[in-house]
Amino acid sequence: MRAYYCDHHAIPLPEGHPFPLGKYAALRQALLSQGVLAAHQLRPAQPAPLPAVLAVHGRAYVTALLEGRLDTAALRRLGFPWSRAFVRRALASAGGTLCATRAALQEGIAGNLAGGTHHAHADFGSGYCALNDLAIAARWALGSGAVERVLILDLDVHQGDGTAALFASEERVFTCSLHGTRNFPARKAASDLDVGLPDGSGDEDYLAALEEALERALERARPELVLYQGGVDPLASDRLGRLALSPEGLARRDEYALSRLRSDGLPVVLTLGGGYSDPIELSVAAHLTTWRIASQLAGRPADPGPSDNARPWRPRTASGTPSAGSSTGAEPTSRPTQRDAR
Ligand SMILES: [Zn+2]
């Protein structure tokens, strides 16, 4: 199982900024120290190529983002001050999901230790999301001919409004969002399937809703690829969540959903999504659990213990996987020399 990271692009944030920048590097470190992934499985994300970005976002917005010409209102909506490092990281975050998509199509499951930036719309960023990596990867997968239908399963506690809006008229992409109904964004977009949960929903209500939603989504979407937004902000400990899942309940979410998808032989791309627990270590631990479950499903855990459900992925078709010479998401050929860089 391959995982792509971009936390080595440090971005300057003002004192007291609420974005949990440290959780990304902390997660990568924990994956290594806990033996969930080995160093050779972790790779620095390459920046998303401009054509792949422009297949989703408007040229005027992308140019303003790249050149630091977003106005104050646009930056306030995005939630970050502009810097060159921020642009590098945003492109790498989207590129990580592209790289992981290619890897998942080859190996069955792969992921990005960032991304899931589902509030980014075609012409503006919002809620800490500058570029919509899920949409960029889905467009690329369709455009490359690798797949004909994509399911974006968004389990972050916030609705995937940007993704829903971007694919409102794209029949080949099915968007499914399970979220807190009273949470951000106040104005929801229409996904193909939205499930809004009331404040304070706990494990059992959440899992029952997930099971029903996932079955409906699979039936309607008939996907050949699944992009998984595994935000851990449904946790009761989350500052922004408003739901009340326990860490065990959240683990059951990932165990159920990822096992279900893999039992259908579907390639799955993990993206990180939100997580704002207090303390933030609770979010890191929850993300770690998601990756532990995925790593075990990949059938090649870094710690070679017994695994009942370890089955190698079998491609559904012989053709259709992206070629090594594809124009987007170029695979890095060198390994990181400073894996602990922050
Ligand atoms: Zn969220």
pLDDT (tens digit per residue) in 210-245: 999 999 999 999 999 999 999 999 999 999 999 999
CA of 207 to the centre of ligand 1 (A): 18
CA of 43 to the centre of ligand 1 (A): 25
pLDDT at 323: 36
pLDDT at 338: 32
Catalytic residue among 57, 118, 119, 287: 119
pLDDT at 36: 97
CA of 266 to the centre of ligand 1 (A): 25
Q: Assign domain 2-12+22-298 one CATH number from 1.10.760.10, 3.30.420.40, 3.20.20.10, 3.40.800.20.
A: 3.40.800.20
At 11, the pLDDT band (50, 70, 90 cuts) reads very high
Least confident of 34-38, 265-269, 280-284, 330-334: 330-334
At 299, the pLDDT band (50, 70, 90 cuts) reads confident
Question: How many CB atoms sit inside 10 A of residue 221's CB?
Answer: 21
CA of 273 to the centre of ligand 1 (A): 6
What percentage of the chain reaches a pLDDT higher than 90? 87
119 is catalytic: yes
The whole model's pTM is what?
0.88
CA of 241 to the centre of ligand 1 (A): 7
Nearest CA among 129, 7, 22 for reference residue 79 = 129
CA of 6 to the centre of ligand 1 (A): 19
CA of 271 to the centre of ligand 1 (A): 12
CA of 160 to the centre of ligand 1 (A): 9
